[in-house]
Structure formats: structure tokens, C-alpha cells
Amino acid sequence: MKDKEMDELVESEKDFGFARVYSVELIYKEKPQLQRELLYANMERYTGKLDRPEQRKSEAGIAVWEPNEETDQDLLHFFHLNYMVGYAEGEMPAQTSLVESELRSPTEYKTAIEQAWHWQEAEQTLEQCRHSLLLVDMLASGLEPKDRLELFTGSLRAVLETAPCDALYFRESDKLVEPRAYLDAIENGAILYGAMNVRFYNVQGTGSARPESLMDTIGLAALGVPDVQCHFFDLTPNEVASFLTDIGYYLFKEGDIISDGETVGFTEDMRWRCAHQYALAAPHRVVLDLDPGDPYYGGRPEADS
């Protein structure tokens, strides 16, 4: 791929909200103790065959990370041979890295705490934590979304079994998660429990006499499918949240197959019209906007002004 084509690809991914590197913070009250051999064994159990960095050389002209004396103790790197990504120069395994990171102040998780309806103790837990590990994927953005999340989920489970933490922060979904609740959800098939966050906002300043709300998902666009949003009046937030969650799972499993103008619904009377738009709430990304029709649809503020 030429440099110009690569630049255009990167810009289009930024516009969509796609994450070329995916990451989650594992947050601890006490400094974690990692048993390297146990971690490799757990990683292989959940993600399949591995090559260690010290076993690999440069392949097909692509430089690969190799440990040295300065970084070997701070960085653990995994080559996942069951998750190969094709490049013009040849195939390379998708990779994950685990590195010690500096824990940020609880105030820097403000937006995640505000939307942590699922975990009321999130802020209190963060205030007691002092240490952090960062798990990231590398050269994995070429995988299909389901394969990429499957690999990352397996890698995260391996780390959690090796060094259980007190809180998880999914950066791409801006979501704080209680680790045991996350593992239970994954075991029960809720694969997007950490990767997708459903957010709720009271909309103010529009001059409407009716209660006005915005709900959206965040985290799907980072994986390559649109997030979902609904700007509405007079609907029950819990019902809207459930519907957005269902549509989010549908898009993640089936892909971006809902065309503009099509309707979605789970009953004969439920026909919400769809359109791809940019998100009303930050960060900038593509969403599938759901229109529940009159008199419920809030529309887009810039279109109404």
C-alpha cells in the first residue's frame, strides 16, 4: 500500500471512530505480582498457540518487537499464531502486549464514573487503587471485529486469572467494569459487556417543555461497526437502553448491514427508522441513528435550529 493510500485509510478510520490499537487498563489496590510462566500458559489456553518474542525473528520483511535488557521486565509480548493477519509482505500474527502503566487520577475517569449505572462502587474502588497494567493489541486491526474481540477477550481473561485486579477500564468504550461481573458476563455469552457502553444523557437548553433524552452506545465503532444512538422524548430509558443493546449486538454479530431508511423493531408495531450519522455526543464517530417516529423522535439539534 502506498503512503498516500495509507494516509487516506488512517483518516477514514479516524472519521469512523476506528481504533487501530485496542486497550484496557487493569487497576489494582496492591501492586500485581505476575508469574510469567503461568501467564503464558493461561494465554495459550485462551488464545491458542503462541510464539514468544525471544523465539521470533523478522518475518517476511516485517520488523517484530524483540525484548532487550531495559524493557524485558516491563513488557510482556505475545504473538498469537491462531490469529493471522495478511499484509502485502506476507502474514503476521496479531499481537498483544502487557505493560506496567501509571495509574491516573480518579478525576480522569469522570465520564466513565458518571455513566457507571451498572457498578455503583466504581468511584470508591478507584480511590483505593494505586497501580495499573495496560493490555493492548498490536497488528490486530486487520482482523474481523469478532475475531479481534475474541482474541482480546481471551488475552484479558488470561491476565485476570494470573493477576486478578480490582477494576477494569475499557478505554474505547469509556467503561469501568467490576472484574468478576465482567468474567461472569463473558461466561454467559455477553461478549460486549466491557467493549460496549450504553450511555444516558438528559438534553437541556433546547427550549422543549418535554423531558428530552439522548442514549447511545460507545465502543462498537472502535471495533469497526457503527455505534447506535437515539434522541427521544417520552420513552422509558430502560426500554431504549435494552433496544440499543440488542441492536448493538446485532450489528457486531452481523456487520453493518442495516441500510439508511430501513426500519428495525422486535414487534409488528415497532418500526424505528435507521440512518448513518455522526454521533451527537463525543467522541466523534459513526453511529446508526434510530428514529422512533412522531411524537418521540428528538431529531438532530443542528437540523432543528
CB count, 10 Å around CB of 186? 18
Q: pLDDT value at position 67?
A: 42
Angle at the Cα of 33 from the Cα atoms of 31 and 38, rounded to 5 degrees: 155
Q: pLDDT value at position 303?
A: 41
Residues in the chain with pLDDT values less than 70: 1-10, 12, 52-74, 205-209, 300-305
Of how many residues is the chain composed? 305
Q: Is 58 left (phi over 0), alpha (psi -120 to 50) or beta?
A: beta
Cα separation values, 192 from 25, 140, 170, 240, Å: 16, 18, 11, 17
CB count, 10 Å around CB of 8? 12
User: 272-278 and 50-51 as β-strands: parallel, antiparallel, unpaired?
Assistant: unpaired
Centroid of chain to Cα 193: 9
Cα separation values, 239 from 246, 251, 284, 295, Å: 11, 18, 25, 17
Cβ pair 53, 66 in contact under 8 A? yes
**pLDDT tens across 15-35, in order?**
889 999 999 999 999 999 989
